[in-house]
Structure 1
């Protein structure tokens, strides 16, 4: 099999600010696998969770070092390939994993969700739920302007508000109050309830998180995502959630702290859900395993994104029938996305219906 790797830019229409900084544009890597007349596509990119950092240059070096070792292998022999790519970082593995899944579906002439036996042949209205859309950190006026911009784009009924502001809890509380009031007014206008989620991206201490819980409840917040910083020491990370959970009646979701099945099992007694992101899990293979185990453990699931294109989000969308809280909005905020194929009805994402991952690449734009 043959491989090709290239960079491509992704630029946000509205830069996103969270507790760790602001992102306006990124470079990602497109990986192409070609064998037996079929081409599989994979994507990866750098990101920073505060306790782990992956740069695009390092990811490219990783991939360029291992891809020649895969040339002689059968792309259908997933076990042999898994052994070769196991030492890679999760985002580097993700690119290869997605390209293999996309190739496999195309080679068999099937969409991936069918190979995974996921129940998406029913009408989208019978199983899909709305994706959340994200409000980054900024002044109150700018955050409210961003909310209105989302509502001009689609009937966003699930709003995720980033908190953990470097400006402190007073600013967090002001943002929370203003956004909650705007959502309440919009819900009354539509005569339907809208949902407010909060993601602190590890921006609070344990005492701050405990102190914010009552404010979140008072403003109708339905879940709290990663309030505490993720820690390198897994036991210290687990203990932080264990100490917060008794004082947090809201659904508590781990994101930056949860990367693989080992993390899910470690955190399961202390959280209500986890956020699966393919760049963290190393692709769909681990994410699917985590999703199935989470269902057995009665853990709810979110599927999320970084500054990802339609290709990465389309791959993550394969899992939507298993997801309670979809959070795949990054491609909706891009001005130069080179991919198409991820369906959306109102604010409900569907699963791509064509072969493999079901995502098309417009080469002319790269």
Structure 2
């Protein structure tokens, strides 16, 4: 098995701001795994909040490159166990795991969702994310991309006023993501107003480790609350079941599709809603997320829509969030240039 690595710097259409950071570009690592004339592709974006860079991920992979290329590939699950045994970080494991799944499906000539026994009779449509900005610019972004569901990033001193102003310009469903910027008091106070403004749910309103605050929110908030930063890896799901109404799984944070599938199963056992979110990946990472859609309640896979230029072909997100699935096996990814 041959291992290919490449760093891309993805320019964004607009400056993307959340409560803790802003950026105009997204660094990302693309991994290729080639075997028997097929190549599977995986992706992990860099993230300063989680201390992960493309350079650090590449260094991890290069340190065990000989072992990776000598590995007798059978299934993604066996390969994932091997990666974990090497002590790699989850961001690095994710890129390799996604590539392994894409490769596996391509070798078998079937898309992953079919190999998993699911079908496309129903799937949730993605939201489109509006980052923190002036109200005028946030409205302009909505008008530039009319969409049935918007995720609104908040964490300012006038969050409710922002939502009220945005509501004047669209009938779309709103989802609110404060990225841990609110207190329990703010969350409980804001929720009834936001519910009246057509907000569907709140995502990670409190800091990730504020379990005492989330206990209060769980008992007094009139809107459902979805965990993001509080739900990183498999072991977090059970704890979230006591404090949240659902979880948002990020493939880069949990280590790829292999653990994500187990997290979905565990969440269902606990009666939690399940969302999968993105980290501004290109179509490489988003095509992997798309394979999970029949198993999800909500999805945030708008990464390619936020880019000035994409680097791959695979899943196509078209008008109003409808999807055109690739016909190739695996996640159906082809790179436009290496």
TM-score range (shorter-chain normalised) is: over 0.9
Q: Say which of 154, 161, 170 aligns to 1:163.
A: 154
**Whole-Å separation in 2 of the counterparts to 1:295 and 1:309:** 28
Aligned pairs for 1:125-164 (under 5 A) are 127-151=122-146, 156-164=147-155
Q: Do the aligned residues in 2 keep the contact of 1:70 with 1:81 (CA within 8 Å)?
A: no
CA change 1:211–1:111 in 2 (3 A) is same
The Cα shift of 1:279 comes to 0.6
Partner SS state of residue 245, structure 1: helix
1:234 aligns with: none
2:243 aligns with: 270
Is 1:56 matched with 2:34? no
Partner SS state of residue 242, structure 2: helix
What TM-score does the superposition give when structure 2 sets the normalisation length? 0.94
**Whole-Å separation in 2 of the counterparts to 1:353 and 1:85:** 29
**Whole-Å separation in 2 of the counterparts to 1:83 and 1:105:** 18
1:191 aligns with: none
Deviations 1:283-323 (A, max 9, x none): 00111111122222221111111121011011011111111
The Cα shift of 1:78 comes to 4.5
Q: Say which of 245, 250, 255 aligns to 2:228.
A: 255
2:199 aligns with: 221
Q: Do the aligned residues in 1 keep the contact of 2:280 with 2:302 (CA within 8 Å)?
A: no
Task: Count matched residues.
Answer: 335
Q: Do the aligned residues in 2 keep the contact of 1:205 with 1:228 (CA within 8 Å)?
A: yes
**Whole-Å separation in 2 of the counterparts to 1:82 and 1:345:** 33
What TM-score does the superposition give when structure 1 sets the normalisation length? 0.87
Aligned pairs for 1:314-325 (under 5 A) are 314-325=287-298
Is 1:97 matched with 2:97? yes
Cα RMSD, aligned residues only:
1.7
Higher percent of residues as helix? 1
Q: Say which of 282, 285, 295 aligns to 2:255.
A: 282
Q: Do the aligned residues in 2 keep the contact of 1:9 with 1:336 (CA within 8 Å)?
A: no
Is 1:359 matched with 2:337? no
CA change 1:269–1:353 in 2 (3 A) is farther
Unaligned segments of structure 1, at least 5 residues: 188-193, 232-236
CA change 1:217–1:297 in 2 (3 A) is same
1:6 aligns with: 6
1:16 aligns with: 16
Unaligned segments of structure 2, at least 5 residues: none
More displaced 10-residue stretch of structure 1: 88-97 or 109-118: 109-118
Partner SS state of residue 337, structure 1: coil
The Cα shift of 1:351 comes to 4.2
Partner SS state of residue 292, structure 2: helix
